[in-house]
Structure 1
């Protein structure tokens, strides 16, 4: 078992682009924390006695909205219930407005050893358009404060924002590099259905993001960060050597994990499961010691397609040996046949019997992967 993901389903306010499960009401926060701990205890049986937890990741939502003692209560429950590695990576997602000097000092003296900070942009106009709770000044200040207490820090940045020029994106990257943080996760702004951003675009209040702008930003992102010594180990993740996210790496390499909390997903190598995305129903079910989740058993075809999608996004690629051994000759032959046209266009390459995306093909990696899916096997 690689790790445990804890979904904290609370936020101060709703970002216009976000479609993750959360609530801006903290009325049942205490009950939620007890429900999370109850799920952790119930699901101990899914982990073998000898299996060690290597990562604990608090995501959301906004985990930093919780008090330090509330986070510590959950961590203590994990340590009391599971075998946890001595050097386990324990990450807390945090927003800049929550990272006061006092809060950072408290987190630094807790088991948490990695911060993932939702900067998104260092410019006020971008933050206001996205309805972020923090200011540009808080974004810069929190990084200075965090760096004094934590060595392992990641920040999130969003590109392709309507109105963001290439120069402003370049300045975002320069400010990030000036902070000397060792990990950056960067995502193109996407318009998810039923979000505020979707509504504003349909009403003409905000222009829609443009793919060609996002691609320009992505190409600058890669060139700038690789020049600065970062490794693009997964499409959206860049780390200095020794600072790849262990949680992210395990996910992209298909390792099993537990997802705890409303809407959280889990994977055991054969099955995926997901909890109900409803705080009240989740709390009420756990009060009855019931798991409010659905389970899907993955077919060979499902597992092959997921491996193609995740593998091509990473520097580890898709092992042709693994495809042959785990999925069979028909999948292996199918993959080689359908990959050839992308190899001819220098979007894919084969090195050491591994299928890899090229720099030219990176921005198109999801589309290329979907074209390699095996869709006709019964």
Structure 2
């Protein structure tokens, strides 16, 4: 397997900012992210997000901001002017690189031509569109707010105004045949988008999906079918010139997500907004997942968040989890240097059985998953975790 050099993210030590916009038109059956379907507190929320940005400017230590990412929720349910006002505050209080990647997540039903034009005229230069499927039966099962026609119409328009577009697709949906999954991929490729993110449908406990399955309204998720979908996905997209650079992500050269790549490479990032997570290499923190509490705290120029100090073992486990998901793998030299020889020895011992089963392999000092092991990479990583060191 040929190793791929990490794409440049600007000068060493760059950082990212994630903005959580906690509003959606309706609840998808599978989604366990924090959001509200009520827009009553929209203006207060935009103001609170701006206040949090101002209050946290010292946390980056003059690192240049390489990426700004609006997630949610559905960021495009608020106006482009609101999104731009948040970007403006970031520029006022942080050192931003000369060509940052600024991404906004969007759903097809929000992306009218007028909306797309206003987004293109703003500082936003990358769209991440939640297509999920081009078929009505799949969208109904997931309770998506858009329909198949809107999915295709928005891409037809968006590709005229944006060069850097990513779309999300979901596989492993009950009743989705191999043929229909192949057609989903074919339709996505037909729009010429340079980045595709694909996720297996997962049954999360605090969502509508498990109850619908329990009541027989939706069939259970079939893991074997999901694996077949995954194998079709990898083969098809790699044949079309995409690099499978992370378990769920495929990009054409020059179009890897800089935001996500920074996360997998352990870069620092600020999470702004309710439920948003932050990471500085030594600590992880997360804001309260309650819109009212979040807004009230910021009105008092306070934070409502929890902070976790990461032990050496925590940081090792996180590096294993993120590294094995990517084409850059896990560096034994890095493990030895940053965590110690004991960790390196443990890693090699635990990896041996997976190497013998052809799920992992060593390329020099880099530990990587094989093609056979890709779908199982999260489970393999958990076998390499260490639980009892400081």
- TM-score bracket for this pair, using the shorter chain length: over 0.9
The correspondence for 1:5, drawn from 18, 25, 48, is 18
Alpha-carbon distance, 1:68 to partner: 1.1
Alpha-carbon distance, 1:55 to partner: 0.2
> What residue is the counterpart of 2:119 in the other structure?
107
The answer to whether 1:192 aligns with 2:204 is: yes
State the Cα deviation string for residues 88-142 of structure 1 (Å, max 9, x = none).
Answer: 0000100001110111111111100000000000000100111100010000011
Matches of 2:104 and 2:344 in 1, distance apart?
Answer: 40
> What residue is the counterpart of 1:201 in the other structure?
213
The answer to whether 1:299 aligns with 2:290 is: no
> What residue is the counterpart of 2:370 in the other structure?
358
State the Cα deviation string for residues 130-171 of structure 1 (Å, max 9, x = none).
Answer: 110001000001111000000000000000000000000000
Alignment of 1:222-371 (within 5 A): 222-371=234-383
SS at structure 2 position matched to 1:290: coil
What is the number of equivalent residue pairs in this alignment?
A: 377
State the Cα deviation string for residues 291-328 of structure 1 (Å, max 9, x = none).
Answer: 11100000001000000000000000000000011111
TM-score (norm 2): 0.96
> What residue is the counterpart of 2:37 in the other structure?
24
> What residue is the counterpart of 1:210 in the other structure?
222
Matches of 2:80 and 2:346 in 1, distance apart?
Answer: 51
The answer to whether 1:117 aligns with 2:129 is: yes
Alpha-carbon distance, 1:205 to partner: 1.2
> What residue is the counterpart of 1:90 in the other structure?
102
Alpha-carbon distance, 1:377 to partner: 2.1
> What residue is the counterpart of 1:35 in the other structure?
48
Matches of 2:260 and 2:389 in 1, distance apart?
Answer: 30
SS at structure 1 position matched to 2:161: coil
Matches of 1:162 and 1:310 in 2, distance apart?
Answer: 28
Alpha-carbon distance, 1:22 to partner: 0.1
Structure 2 unaligned segments of length 5 or more: list them: 1-13
Q: Aligned-residue CA RMSD in angstroms?
A: 0.7
State the Cα deviation string for residues 46-81 of structure 1 (Å, max 9, x = none).
Answer: 1213x1000000000000101111111101111111
Q: Which runs of 4+ in 1 moved over 4 A?
A: none
Alpha-carbon distance, 1:194 to partner: 2.2
Alpha-carbon distance, 1:208 to partner: 1.1
The answer on whether the counterparts of 2:15 and 2:60 sit within 8 Å (CA) in structure 1 is no
SS at structure 2 position matched to 1:309: helix
Matches of 1:64 and 1:359 in 2, distance apart?
Answer: 37
SS at structure 2 position matched to 1:286: helix
